[in-house]
């Protein structure tokens, strides 16, 4: 491809690292649930002349000239989003999911007002009011939790809502493996007149593909990233539902104004084009089959893990996401599992589990997902095999224990990393991973 040849000639160092990253993606199992592989068409839109243009404002109302074609691309993306999600308003300009969520706060809340979201270690997101996030500092955050079985504690939710009367409630999660309970939260929010914002960043592809219930009948506001199950570029969208406009007819205008000029400058037009392409792809019948296969694969993987002795939060999944609980073998084991899996060619991420005996820096869980594997064409049979491989890897870390003394941890982890590089069982798993990846090539015909 000519543009890659230009890159190689101009900056061979960057070119080589990109080439190596493509090889890493091709030769490993990408299982972080918030990651996926875009189509070549999305990447072509991203690496285009659209990155050259400034476009503050909205179509027909820009602060710069020369936006006639940019306007058409953004309108295309907006109309596709509205149709696909069945909403009357969509904004495709947020740079990413966190800025999109922050915009929601300032569109409907004043600093100091009460907000609610799922506690971070229970599966919630930083931007839903965690104390280290600006959202937990500017607003009064009252987190809700899950029960011992890992499911949301609705008795607690109702009690907290009645006592605190939040202005805004979040339903949407980053490490909760079960179906998002939009109807229940819609009823709870309505009981106290709160806004309900559904953050569907993880499941938006499942929603449009018919593999998960839509939040549209229950939520006032919807946010989503575009790069997870939706399989688009790294961007985000904010949508307002008919219910939201019924609560506040000016809500869409408030969202527009808080994005620009309130929070952002010019939109990233190349990302907007990538979103438009991804939405066109998601509207095709084959995408619905893909979304359903993601869920089927996650269920098959969960069942394989359980069969091979691995403990899962809630015992399984309804979505694309699985959360392994390693606390039965020791606290803070997530980092050991993540790095051992990485050595075996399986990319996952350490994550807290409910009632984690450790902390977010050394959590006791591992988060897995099936979107990227499904994009490669893998199905239930492969999930059965991958579950066995993951169990084998976890078996190799059981003899390690996180030191209680914080000063000893870095030395202990350094020794661990040296040992796993030489672990023959992990090397055998790596060979099996390479063999499996070879059967499901990624980006065929695309070469450096």
**Active-site residue set:** 54, 56, 199, 225, 228, 234
How far apart (Å, rounded) are the C-alpha atoms in residues 211 and 208? 8
CA distances in angstroms from 121 to 116, 145, 207, 313, listed in the order given: 15, 9, 25, 12
SS3 category, 447: coil
How far apart (Å, rounded) are the C-alpha atoms in residues 220 and 308? 42
SS3 category, 28: coil
237 within 8 A of 33, measured Cβ to Cβ: no
Backbone angles phi, psi at 344, to 5 degrees: -90, 5
- Residues with Cβ < 8 Å from 390, sequence gap 6 or more? 305, 308, 310, 341, 346, 368
How far apart (Å, rounded) are the C-alpha atoms in residues 191 and 336? 45
Token representation of residue 51: 């990155």
How far apart (Å, rounded) are the C-alpha atoms in residues 429 and 357? 30
């Amino acid at each position: 491809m000519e543009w890659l040849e230009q890159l190689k000639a101009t900056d061979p160092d960057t070119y080589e690292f990109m080439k190596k990253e493509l090889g890493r993606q091709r030769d490993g199992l990408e299982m972080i649930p918030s990651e996926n592989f875009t189509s070549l068409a999305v990447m072509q839109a991203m690496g285009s002349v659209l990155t050259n243009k400034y476009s503050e404002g909205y179509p027909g109302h820009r602060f710069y000239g020369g936006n006639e074609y940019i306007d058409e691309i953004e309108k295309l993306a907006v109309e596709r989003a509205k149709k696909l999600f069945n909403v009357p308003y969509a904004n495709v300009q947020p740079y990413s999911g966190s800025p999109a969520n922050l915009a929601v706060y300032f569109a409907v809340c004043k600093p100091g007002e009460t907000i609610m979201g799922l506690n971070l270690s229970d599966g919630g997101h930083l931007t839903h009011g965690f104390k280290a996030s600006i959202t937990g500092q500017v607003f009064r955050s009252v987190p809700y939790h899950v029960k011992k079985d890992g499911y949301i504690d609705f008795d607690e939710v109702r009690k907290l809502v009645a006592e605190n009367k939040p202005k805004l409630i979040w339903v949407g999660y980053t490490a909760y493996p079960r179906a998002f309970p939009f109807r229940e939260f819609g009823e709870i929010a309505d009981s106290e007149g709160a806004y309900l914002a559904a953050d569907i960043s993880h499941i938006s592809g499942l929603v449009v593909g018919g593999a998960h219930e839509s939040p549209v009948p229950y939520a006032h506001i919807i946010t989503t990233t575009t790069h997870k199950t939706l399989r688009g570029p790294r961007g985000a969208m904010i949508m307002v539902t008919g219910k939201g406009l019924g609560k506040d007819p000016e809500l869409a205008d408030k969202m527009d104004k808080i994005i620009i000029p309130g929070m952002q400058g010019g939109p990233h037009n190349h990302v907007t084009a990538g979103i438009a392409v991804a939405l066109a792809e998601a509207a095709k019948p084959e995408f619905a089959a893909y979304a359903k296969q993601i869920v089927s694969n996650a269920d098959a993987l969960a069942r394989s893990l359980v069969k091979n002795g691995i403990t899962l939060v809630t015992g399984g999944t309804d979505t694309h996401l699985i959360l392994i609980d390693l606390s039965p073998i020791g606290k803070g084991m997530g980092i050991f599992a993540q790095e051992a899996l990485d050595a075996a060619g399986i990319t996952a991420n350490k994550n807290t589990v409910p009632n984690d005996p450790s902390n977010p820096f050394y959590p006791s869980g591992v988060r897995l997902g099936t979107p990227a594997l499904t994009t490669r064409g893998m199905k239930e049979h492969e999930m059965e095999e991958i579950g066995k491989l993951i169990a084998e890897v976890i078996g190799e870390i059981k003899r390690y224990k996180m030191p209680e003394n914080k000063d000893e941890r870095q030395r202990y982890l350094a020794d661990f990393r040296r040992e796993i590089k030489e672990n023959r069982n992990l090397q055998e798993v790596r060979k099996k991973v390479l063999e499996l990846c070879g059967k499901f090539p990624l980006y065929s015909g695309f070469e450096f």
